[in-house]
Chain A
Amino acid sequence: MWGMLAHLGSALDLFLADSTKTTLVVAAIVSAVTLIWLSRNLDFSAKIRSAFMYAHVALLLFPPVFFATTLSCKQVGLCEVGLTQTLLFVIPITLILGLAFGLLIVPLLHRLRSQPESGKWQRFVNGQSDRLGLHKAPDVFIVDSGRPEAFSTGGLKPAMFISIGMLEVLTRRQIEAVLLHELGHIQEGSHALKPITWLLRALYPEPVLAPAAIVAEEERKADAFAASVQKTDVHLNRAKRKMAE
């Protein structure tokens, strides 16, 4: 074990002695720090901020992966090179799979567990999406639950989920307000932001990213969108109060 660490140490020395490689690594780290700093600026849209965050993670993963690719049997010793490379590759692969799960698999699982709605709520969402110029309206799904709840997902095709419990307790205008709030999230790109914020939240202490502020900002924008379409926030606020009870 110590022998292997010593080998790795000398391999690292060799890697860092190469000025081209060192420059690339330093450039990656500096860009990563710049991007996370830029992503904190809430004036950028959620789409841009999440792009910055994904790029930040990719740039952070670059140095260890780059180092792993330069390892050869001569430097580390025949049997250990595979192990070290595997370890250095496992972290990025796990992260990518985790993000793919959040971005693609979770929305798919929600779809499979719900029934498509093809009545007035889908028509309402189609109409509003047309008005906004979205090239494809999100699908509306019904969740078989008595609890009043609503949420939406991004992924390859955005979708909105509303429970039967919600349809039971809200009025028509209140349901429309909730659908508009979710449409606001989809239009804004909140869904790409969610898994990356969740990941970075685990990596960094609170002040670096301020995840609570990110979530609050997305909710504020979705609320503002619904209120601007309805020209009042009365229905949305009533709906929220009812659903929180």
Chain B
Amino acid sequence: MVKQSDVVNETLSPLESAILEALWQSGESKVRDIFQKIKTKNPCAQSSVAVTLDRLYERKLVRRTITTGRGGLAYIYSTCLSKDEFRKSLAQQAVDRIVERFGESAVSYFNEKYRK
């Protein structure tokens, strides 16, 4: 049986899921804050966090706004989906892929297995 947290890890690198977890916990954050939060468990450079966040932004998993604070220009990142929404969309994608590949037999299997 697959644990729920494993679903998130399946399509994300360890650093990507650590960053998303940090964002789900703290809400809007700057690169520096996220780096401070995850660096003990995930030893990495701050620039890796910046690059990874940029990639998550391109994949539309996070959104960002530009701020001109005291420390100069920076992005404020937040997640596009809540953790539950994210898991649900991953599960949907997985099921869609199975149905696409196995067609009728997958549908009837799901019906049998999960009939109330």
Q: Which residues of A contact B (CB under 8 A)?
A: 119-120, 142, 144-148, 164-165, 167-169, 242-243, 245
Determine which residue in B46, B50, B51 has the highest number of CB atoms from chain A within 10 A of its CB, and name it.
B50
- A146-B73 in contact (CB<8A): no
- A148-B47 in contact (CB<8A): yes
Contacts of B66 in A (CB 8 A): 144, 164
- B46-A242 in contact (CB<8A): yes
Q: Which residues of B contact A (CB under 8 A)?
A: 30-32, 45-48, 50-51, 53-54, 57, 64, 66, 72-75
Contacts of B73 in A (CB 8 A): 142, 164, 167
How far is A147 from B52 in the complex, measured between Cα atoms in Å? 8
- B48-A168 in contact (CB<8A): no
Determine which residue in A120, A165, A167 has the highest number of CB atoms from chain B within 10 A of its CB, and name it.
A165
Compute the total of residue contacts between A and B using a CB distance below 8 Å: 49
For A146, the closest partner residue in chain B by CB is B54
User: Closest CB of chain A to B64's CB: distance in Å?
Assistant: 7
User: Closest CB of chain A to B52's CB: distance in Å?
Assistant: 9
How far is A146 from B45 in the complex, measured between Cα atoms in Å? 14
Determine which residue in A142, A168, A169 has the highest number of CB atoms from chain B within 10 A of its CB, and name it.
A168
Write 19 A-B pairs (CB below 8 A) sorted by A numbering: A142-B73, A145-B54, A146-B51, A146-B64, A147-B50, A147-B51, A147-B54, A148-B47, A164-B66, A164-B75, A165-B47, A167-B72, A167-B73, A168-B31, A168-B46, A169-B46, A169-B50, A242-B47, A243-B47
| In the complex with contacts A146-B57, A242-B45, A245-B45, A165-B72 CB distance below 8 A | no
Within 8 Å by CB of B30, from A142, A168, A245, lies: A168
Contacts of A168 in B (CB 8 A): 30-32, 46, 50, 74-75
| In the complex with contacts A142-B73, A146-B75, A168-B32, A245-B57 CB distance below 8 A | no
For A145, the closest partner residue in chain B by CB is B54
- A167-B50 in contact (CB<8A): no
Contacts of A167 in B (CB 8 A): 72-74
- A146-B48 in contact (CB<8A): no
How far is A152 from B32 in the complex, measured between Cα atoms in Å? 26
Within 8 Å by CB of B50, from A119, A142, A144, A165, lies: A165
For B30, the closest partner residue in chain A by CB is A168
User: Closest CB of chain B to A154's CB: distance in Å?
Assistant: 25
User: Closest CB of chain B to A220's CB: distance in Å?
Assistant: 23
For B49, the closest partner residue in chain A by CB is A169
How far is A62 from B30 in the complex, measured between Cα atoms in Å? 58
Contacts of A144 in B (CB 8 A): 66
Contacts of B45 in A (CB 8 A): 242, 245
User: Closest CB of chain B to A123's CB: distance in Å?
Assistant: 13
| In the complex with contacts A146-B64, A245-B45, A245-B47, A169-B31 CB distance below 8 A | yes
Contacts of A164 in B (CB 8 A): 66, 73-75
Contacts of B54 in A (CB 8 A): 145-147, 165
Contacts of A142 in B (CB 8 A): 73
How far is A168 from B66 in the complex, measured between Cα atoms in Å? 11
How far is A147 from B47 in the complex, measured between Cα atoms in Å? 8
For A165, the closest partner residue in chain B by CB is B50
Give 10 nearest A-B pairs by CB, closest first.
Answer: A146-B54, A245-B45, A245-B47, A165-B50, A168-B31, A169-B47, A169-B46, A242-B47, A147-B54, A167-B73
